[in-house]
């Protein structure tokens, strides 16, 4: 058994696609019209056949209060692994990404938290090993 798909709830799929590809550096895997919202997935360029991230429309009535509560409490919706949190922080900040938490060393893990412009906080992390 393996994880095939995971999702992040986004307010605007087109805006999310631009952010997740042009800024974060993921690559488009699937863009399938579904009569309104699209089946829209991105993948890491390092593993095109790996886990797909679904840019899931957040139209369900429970989505907004859920996302708002996470953001209000500063809780990331998900986490992405990076090789160097500080370098990625600098790269993304230069691209205009807003961080709610700058890089912090937490023992063997370094993390930072960014705003994905689509209603989510996303953590980037690196575990020293």
Mean residue pLDDT across the chain: 96
- The per-residue pLDDT for range 6-48, each reduced to its tens digit, is 999 999 999 999 999 999 999 999 999 998 899 999 999 999 9
The superfamily in CATH containing domain 5-127 is 2,3-Dihydroxybiphenyl 1,2-Dioxygenase, domain 1 (3.10.180.10)
Cβ burial of 128 (10 Å; 0-12, 13-18, 19+) is exposed
With beta carbons less than 8 A apart as the criterion, state whether 55 and 13 touch: yes
At residue 129, does pLDDT exceed 80?
no
Task: Write down the domain spans for the chain.
Answer: 5-127
């Amino acid at each position: 058994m393996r994880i095939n798909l995971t999702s992040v709830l986004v307010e605007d799929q087109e805006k999310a696609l631009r952010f997740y590809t042009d800024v974060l550096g993921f690559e488009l895997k699937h863009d399938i019209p579904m009569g309104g919202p699209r089946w829209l997935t991105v993948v890491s360029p390092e593993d095109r056949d790996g886990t797909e991230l679904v840019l899931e429309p957040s139209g369900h009535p429970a989505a907004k209060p859920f996302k708002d509560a996470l953001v209000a409490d500063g809780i990331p919706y998900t986490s992405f692994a990076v090789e160097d949190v500080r370098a990625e922080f600098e790269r993304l900040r230069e691209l205009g990404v807003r961080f709610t938490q700058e890089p912090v060393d937490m023992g063997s893990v370094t993390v930072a938290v960014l705003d994905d412009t689509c209603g989510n906080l996303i953590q980037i992390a690196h575990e020293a090993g």
